[in-house]
Structure 1
Amino acid sequence: MRPSTGRESWAKLRRRWNDLGWKTRRRLRAIGILLSLALVLAGGWGVVSLVLPDLTCDEDEGIVRETEGGECVGVTDGSYVFAEYLRESLDLVKTENERVEREWADEEVPYVTVAFILPFTSPDAIEQQQMVSELQGAHLAQYRANREAERPGIRLVVGNTGEHSEQWSVVTDRLAELADSPQERLRAVTGLNVSTDETSAAVRELTRDHGIPVVVGPLTADGLENDPEGSYPGLARVIADNSDQAAALASFFGDIDPSRTLLVEDLREEDDYISSLREVYQERTRDAAHAPETFRSPPNINDEGNLANEFQAMVNSICNMTDVDTVYFAGRNVQLRLFVNALVGRGCQDKDYQVITISGASTLITDEKLDWEGLESGSVTVRYTSNAHPDAWRSEEAPATGGSEADFNELLAARDRVGLTGLDLSDSRAITMHDAVTTAVEGIRNSVTSESAVPPLDAVANAWSRMHGDPGNFIHGASGWICLDAYGRSYNKAVSIVRLDPAERGIRFEGLAWPTGAAPEANCPIPNDRE
């Protein structure tokens, strides 16, 4: 028999520890702490670790240590703080959850639970900043929902899937337990902000294996959506996918000559966002004079690798293309920043270029390595789609349908009441997650009946198919109307077109665009030719 490794022995010990009841574990921990203190006083610090179980993660609250790097992954009601940068946000969630449990305690059904999951232990500062915005947007949706007349109350739990979401199965297993629990009553899962294989696997297990409805946030990969084949039953998407965003761009920039375009594409595999965006832009640049310029990014989407040098050589080639002025970029934000910096420093400063991509570029404005000074010359313009923007419904050109300033102002009012006045809404992250949680809440509440105060999971999943055809059916989101088809896919969702503004070190709203070329009708009907 092969001898056990230290890791295997620790795994066996952990399984035995977890097999104990939570009350037993709590008593043993208390005993361990007392023994440890006694050993410290007696000079026996070296053997403390043999007596006291690892207290880094709170297993009694559903948080388990799953990685060699010491990440704590799992699900919390806000009592456990996965990382210090989340403390303020999780405190808000915890306070609201306690209020819900207290004020709805005397009702027959005091509340239901909605989960919000992200890879919160990412070490990347830019990702941390955007996840704070996303979590706070989710909390604002919870806050608003619990101050409306509708029932039931909404309790929000927060799940950490670990860096790169590699520990997603720990979270989905726990969420399945919460869905089965008559005390927790989990009815929907929201969040999920990166279109990767891990995200797809998590959504597939939640929807297909556990039957839990899911409303995703800023995921735009075309393949990560439900369809007539039932790929992800019960999945809803509140924003435009890659194809719809590209169609919106085409309708907005109708004067772009396809023959003067160039595709710069990432060939990295196992990334749904990149692969679907690559396919969309290959179609858009089919009449381009030059073949696509390609690169391959490192497995970690935040790694630069040697791409700065590769892009410098690529830009030299682009300078020699006399008939190119528009570059479509199919890649993620770190690689986009490297490419833009290389293009800004090009040798052919007498040529002007515009770089066009979609909403994954929203983190550019927080990237400290972006060459803002180089962009100030104005010879390189970076434009991209955004899932939302604060100015989208404030302009005089805003259409009468598809969204409204009043709907957006509801989010602003909630932000101010909660005290999150410093929350920046310009990158669309908070707005998108607010709308995702709002959609989940409406799906739950629309499924409540006189016989079933807590709707079954399949009833909530079926609610997405009714969110169109009448203003009382679809969601009046802060980002715009959310009209879902029979498979939970957003139809003709408003897309904001923005550009980097080097003078303000931010982004400037340029206008609204629509996948169909025009704003929806007042009742937001779904056409018969919808695939």
Structure 2
Amino acid sequence: MTDGMRGIVPPETWTVRRRRRRRRLVVLGAVLVLIGSGIWGGVTLLSVCGSFGSGVTELDGECVGVTDGSYVFHSDLADVQGKLEEENARVRREAPAYVTVALLDPLTPSDDSGLPIAQVRNRLEGAYTALRRVNTEPVSGDPNPQIELVLANSGTSDEHSRRVVEQLVDLRDQENPLVAVIGLGVSTERTKWQAEQLSANDIPMVGAYLTADDLEYEHIPGLIKTSPSNRHYVEALRRHADAAGIDSTIMVRDANSDSGADLYTRSLEEEFERQMAEIMEFPTQQFTGSTGGAGGDVNLFGNVRANICASAAQRLQAVLFAGREVDLGAFIESLEFRTCADTPLVILTAGLELGALLKGQEDQLAEAKITVLSASTVDAEGWRANPAAEGTPEHYGDFRRAFQLAQFAEEHLDDGGAIMMHDALLTAAQAVRIAAPLGSASAPTADDVRAQLLNINTLYSVQGASGELSFSKQATGAGTPLGKPVPVLAYPRAPGSPSRQTGELYHVTG
């Protein structure tokens, strides 16, 4: 986060932003007059991506901005963005009243980035599935007013984020106003800044994968989320550890948490220390995690591995891993070459969807005597294989059928992104419909929708693919998904078990 971005105190309000927008329109008009008159004199137009007026601008070689799907951010997104563009066009053509919701996420990663393009595609497929459902069936109440979903690529720099947030704030003032933002990326300082700016402009938000404990309504008014917070994940792990008799652990932390830029790793570390202190018997180890997505380096863990083996000689049972998925793979690979290979090790981690990382490595993990237990947002593999199982959410089957109807591949569900983005849009749509009791006869504003975020409960709970979700005002944990199941998944699965889920299923309570 740049010093300049940290210095925006207080954030600009909607009124100030609207005045700025009007000034920009005046300047743009003057520029067009100059162009038409042949008087230019050194003024340079920004380079646009796609056609002029696409809403997407090239900045530092990256296309950032807001589009209705007509500008395709990557060739692998062409199919799902085409479907989104078609549905948005239908809404604009047929709906007597409609409002706009924006999906804010990094949408232009490379294959070796922290968010591979396949995961971006899966998230958009989940969003499209939800969009069709909320516009054509009563899954979130009366399917009116209809919803147009625009895509906002937040880019990879502070400047990109600032420009996109400005665009979103401007959309509040259009004829079919922006009434909510979903997605919001992952738990980083930049995400927090974006959420604070949107909150200051009274734009409601539904995070899809935000796990940091300070990314919640009580810290950022107007922000709710469909994912549990790290304290919920760690509580699920602690209950499992108690039931399994695990009473001797060591924590491995990412030194990047010290800067505060990665709110996920910092928050996870803090929750391990708070909830697992009694069983953390050995000195905490640390590594400097990868900042990109090319994959962690096994050499980061040489000294850590040696100390883990020294601790294993003194009855160490489990490792608490407070790092990101990109480094977990390298950590596991490093442990395969440990000197204490005959001693079984359990790795406890949280908030990571490990299906893509560990899929197909069952035999390798078993041979290395390593078991990974992850407190997870979803169990997509298990729910698909066991739709009637006790732990499968009641409404998962409805989502899966809609996903299949959209002709998306089943394996695109495995990383959990499609499920969580689907639930984020369903949640936003529920708030929209509560705020518009007259259906097609009323079009709510962002203020109207924000006022209903904590009324999404009881009769208005969200029939999510990941569980039935409720949101209400509480002393702590306002805006977290009450009732959300948090399965603890085992890699490799227990011999003979039809599911990765292990232990008693935990649910978010606040």
TM-score between the two structures when normalised by the length of structure 1 = 0.79
In the TM superposition, 1:59-458 aligns within 5 A as: 59-67=52-60, 70-104=61-95, 107=96, 109=97, 111-125=98-112, 127-148=116-137, 149-163=142-156, 167-182=160-175, 184-208=176-200, 210-227=201-218, 231-257=219-245, 259-268=247-256, 269=259, 270-287=261-278, 288-298=280-290, 300-302=291-293, 307-321=297-311, 322=313, 323-360=315-352, 362-363=353-354, 365-366=356-357, 374-377=364-367, 379-390=369-380, 391-392=382-383, 394=386, 398=390, 404-405=393-394, 407-450=395-438, 453-458=442-447
**Local SS of the residue matching 1:349:** coil
Secondary structure of the residue aligned to 1:314 is helix
CA change 1:372–1:450 in 2 (3 A) is: closer
Distance change >3 Å, CA 187–CA 509, structure 1 → 2: same
Q: Is the 8 A contact 2:103 2:149 kept in 1?
A: yes
1:493 maps to 484
Q: Once the 2 structures are TM-superposed, how far is the Cα of residue 351 of structure 1 from its aligned partner?
A: 0.6
Q: Are 2:480 and 1:480 aligned?
A: no
1:43 corresponding residue in structure 2: none
Q: RMSD between aligned alpha carbons? A: 3.2
> Does structure 1 retain, via aligned residues, the 8 Å contact 2:493–2:499?
no
Output the amino acid matched with 1:334: V
Kept after mapping to 2: 8 A contact 1:117/1:191 = yes
Partners in 1 of 2:45 and 2:170 — Cα distance?
28
Cα 1:410/1:165, change in 2 over 3 Å: farther
| CA shift digits 1:57-107 (9 cap, x unpaired) | 54512111222xx11100000111122222112111101111112222xx2
Change in 2 beyond 3 A, CA 1:173/1:51: closer
Whole-Å separation in 2 of the counterparts to 1:389 and 1:120: 24
Query: SS where residue 187 of structure 1 aligns?
Result: strand
The 1:82–1:378 alpha-carbon spacing in structure 2 relative to 1, beyond 3 Å, is same
Q: Give the deviation of 1:303 after TM superposition.
A: 5.5
Q: Which residue of 2 aligns with 1:46?
A: none
Q: CA deviation at 1:512?
A: 7.4
Task: For residue 56 of structure 1, report the CA deviation from its aligned partner.
Answer: 3.9
* Conservation of the 8 A alpha-carbon contact between 2:404 and 2:410: no
Equivalent position SS for 2:452: helix
SS at match of 1:97: helix
The one-letter code of the counterpart of 1:176 is V
Query: Which whole-Å CA distance do the structure 1 matches of 2:493 and 2:393 have between them?
Result: 29
Contact 2:490 2:501 in 1 (8 A): yes
Extract unaligned runs of 5+ from structure 1. 1-14, 32-49, 521-525
* Distance in structure 2 (CA, Å) of the matches to 1:264 and 1:237: 27
User: 2: CA distance between counterparts of 1:53 and 1:465?
Assistant: 41
Q: In structure 2, do the counterparts of structure 1 residues 498 and 53 end up closer, same or farther at CA, with 3 Å as the change threshold?
A: closer
Residues 416-451 of structure 1: CA deviation (Å, up to 9, x unaligned): 211113452122111011000000011001110449
* Maintained 8 Å contact 2:181/2:203: yes
Q: Which amino acid aligns with 2:144?
A: R
> In structure 1, the residue corresponding to 2:101 is in which secondary structure?
strand
Assess, with a 3 A threshold, how the Cα gap between structure 1 residues 478 and 498 changes in structure 2: closer, same or farther. same
Distance, in Å, in 2 between the alignment partners of 1:501 and 1:258 is: 18
Q: Give the partner amino acid of 1:121.
A: T
Give, as a single letter, the amino acid of the residue that structure 2 aligns with 1:238: T
1:379-432 deviations in Å (ceiling 9; x for gaps): 101121221123349466626xxx743x11111111121111345212211101
Letter of the structure 2 residue corresponding to residue 336 of structure 1:
L
Give 1:464 shift: 1.8
Q: Is the 8 A contact 1:261 1:327 kept in 2?
A: yes
Of residues 416-425 and 188-197 in structure 1, the stretch that sits farther from structure 2 once superposed is 416-425
> Which structure 2 residues correspond to residues 8-87 of structure 1 after superposition, within 5 A?
19-21=27-29, 54=47, 56-67=49-60, 70-87=61-78
CA drift at 1:343: 0.8
C-alpha contact (below 8 Å) 2:109/2:116 kept by paired residues: yes
- CA offsets 1:330-360 (integer angstroms, 9 cap, x no match): 0111111111111122122211011111122
* Counterpart residue identity of residue 305, structure 2: V
Kept after mapping to 2: 8 A contact 1:389/1:425: no
Equivalent-residue separation in structure 2 for 1:280 and 1:166 (angstroms): 32
**Contact 1:449-1:455 within 8 A present in 2 as well:** no
- Give the aligned length: 461
Q: Is the CA contact (8 Å cut-off) linking 1:265 and 1:278 kept in structure 2?
A: yes
Question: Which string of whole-angstrom CA distances, capped at 9 and with x for unpartnered residues, describes residues 113-148 of structure 1?
Answer: 111011112224452211111111111100111112
Report the Cα offset of residue 458 of structure 1. Answer: 2.0
Unaligned 5+ runs, structure 2: 1-22
How many percent identity over aligned positions? 29
Q: Is the 8 A contact 1:467 1:483 kept in 2?
A: yes
Q: Identify which of structures 1 and 2 has the higher relative contact order when contacts are C-alpha pairs closer than 8 Å and 6+ apart.
A: 2
Q: Which residue does the alignment assign to 1:462?
A: 451
Deviates more, 1:387-396 or 1:278-287: 387-396
Whether contact under 8 Å (1:240, 1:492) holds in the other structure is: no
